[in-house]
Structure 1
């Protein structure tokens, strides 16, 4: 049996973008790498990671991307289709209540979330030391030590646009400070955004969620105003999971990280994709809420070595 016919990883939003760009046949080919099981090499990779990014909608329907950290082994495969995360989401994080409750929010866009139990989540484990990344999407439920995710999609991506950071250290006594919340970006936060070489993007669709990575040379993401960001969508694997989700549901969340101080900047809002006549694409993100948390990560990473795949900035 054709594996694509047996298991199609794409929903109509992704298919629409693939058809618009003209890559459906190639997307079918790379889509064969998406499965539902966690292979031994993936399980071994997870157990080496000190951080995990998770994307989901909160109880009000807003979409966020959140950073989780812990000693290597805090994320591990505990079944052929399940990972367990010790410690859970940091208290005060926008997704903390949602993950603790273990039930999804009603869609603010009027899209049903499906009949399955648990919170639809997307996760991405990214290792700057090896420039490897793994994504696992599924449904989360609380456990006595944190939460577990039953996988619907498991796959890896190539190292394109990942900045290499050789090592990290855990900073003693670093603890998250009080969150600074606002409805738009302050001037220093706009500088934070435009200095970034990496951010994470959470998106949703009718029956699930996804967390992905975006990278480039500093300045690749622009803070065009206190309430709007934009970035070029660089060529990737042609799956168009993220842009497909946005075609179906514009809600999105961004996570930016200061890799030295551990400060995180979480943004929630909506996003749209502008397709240009020359074949280029630009994503426009409109900010609804901003949460800046100093010292949210206890990890201090070494300086980056920028990916040779990063396009030069205009």
Structure 2
């Protein structure tokens, strides 16, 4: 079954981690249809993380929002999204036409998340996605937050090739971010990473490093990085609605000695940014102060 679900990069990552058997077990959760419980979950969500490549092949992660009901399963294999990226969003132009997308519906208040991958096409009000994969993930490392709607007017984007001191401080204090990757065929994936504030290390204005904690052994993100290093990161300011998009490349450091120096790390991931886009007021949601996940390892 794993041979049907996983591509060569994911299986390579599972072998390097010594978790082929666990990965094969986890593959049973992957399906092409949206189950009934997932339909109800989607209808209640106000936010969706989406990852895709732009017209230059660079990976980006972004966030779409709407009142509950803006995500709808039209049938077992089709998701309708009543939203598209705003004009200044890095993925706006790409999603005016067909695109391979990875998506993550996440509910921090109830520690739930669901991943969906497929092929998107624009509609009059948003996107229609024909799904290839649908599966839930374990709730580890999700910080509990509750959303509220707020008036929001997006500011003009700030573009740079490196992180400013304020952006470095933002990332160094983050407890959550999202990452978009893709395989050699362009099939995209969007995933969540969480930990105690400080779990993302700002090595330099262009380099970040974070621990890869124990998970479900699917290795979707790290498997993509085994064959395709392009990646996009998204950091959200939960109190102001600002977003920070980064695109660049990432690699996995499989050296156990390096991981041993970081509490809870199974391995490390290093990301090098080539472009940064900050947009204040991009998201009309404000979130409560977090209740940290009990699974978060300590940060030294």
**Fold match by TM threshold 0.5:** yes
Alignment of 1:227-238 (within 5 A): 227-238=206-217
What is the alpha-carbon distance in structure 2 between the residues aligned to residue 137 and residue 101 of structure 1? 17
**Pairing partner for 1:179 from 132, 137, 157:** 157
Aligned equivalent of 1:109 = none
After TM superposition, give the deviation of residue 223 of structure 1 in Å.
Answer: 1.2
Aligned equivalent of 1:283 = 269
Runs (4 or more) in structure 1 with deviation over 3 Å come to none
1:195 corresponds to 2:173: yes
1:240 corresponds to 2:219: yes
Q: Deviations over 1:200-255 (max 9, x none)?
A: 00001123000000000000001110010000111110010100000010000000
What is the alpha-carbon distance in structure 2 between the residues aligned to residue 26 and residue 189 of structure 1? 38
Q: Deviations over 1:27-84 (max 9, x none)?
A: 1111010000001100110010110000000001110000111111111111111101
After TM superposition, give the deviation of residue 21 of structure 1 in Å.
Answer: 1.1
Aligned equivalent of 2:78 = 82
What is the alpha-carbon distance in structure 2 between the residues aligned to residue 20 and residue 60 of structure 1? 31
After TM superposition, give the deviation of residue 293 of structure 1 in Å.
Answer: 0.3
What is the alpha-carbon distance in structure 2 between the residues aligned to residue 148 and residue 251 of structure 1? 25
1:212 corresponds to 2:229: no
What is the alpha-carbon distance in structure 2 between the residues aligned to residue 304 and residue 214 of structure 1? 15
1:120 corresponds to 2:106: no
**Pairing partner for 1:310 from 293, 296, 299:** 296
Aligned equivalent of 2:262 = none
Aligned equivalent of 1:154 = 134
What is the alpha-carbon distance in structure 2 between the residues aligned to residue 87 and residue 203 of structure 1? 22
Aligned equivalent of 1:49 = 45
**Pairing partner for 1:35 from 10, 14, 31:** 31
Aligned equivalent of 2:263 = none
What is the alpha-carbon distance in structure 2 between the residues aligned to residue 258 and residue 233 of structure 1? 22
Aligned equivalent of 2:22 = 26
Superposed CA RMSD in Å reads: 1.1
Q: Which sits farther off after the overlay, 258-267 or 139-148?
A: 139-148
Q: Where in structure 2 are there 5+ consecutive unaligned residues?
A: 260-265
What is the alpha-carbon distance in structure 2 between the residues aligned to residue 186 and residue 26 of structure 1? 41
What is the alpha-carbon distance in structure 1 between the residues aligned to residue 19 and residue 7 of structure 2? 15
Q: Where in structure 1 are there 5+ consecutive unaligned residues?
A: 103-118
What is the alpha-carbon distance in structure 2 between the residues aligned to residue 52 and residue 277 of structure 1? 34
Q: Secondary structure at the match of 1:20?
A: helix
1:297 corresponds to 2:278: no
Is the CA contact 2:244–2:277 (under 8 Å) kept in the aligned structure 1?
yes
What is the alpha-carbon distance in structure 1 between the residues aligned to residue 109 and residue 156 of structure 2? 30
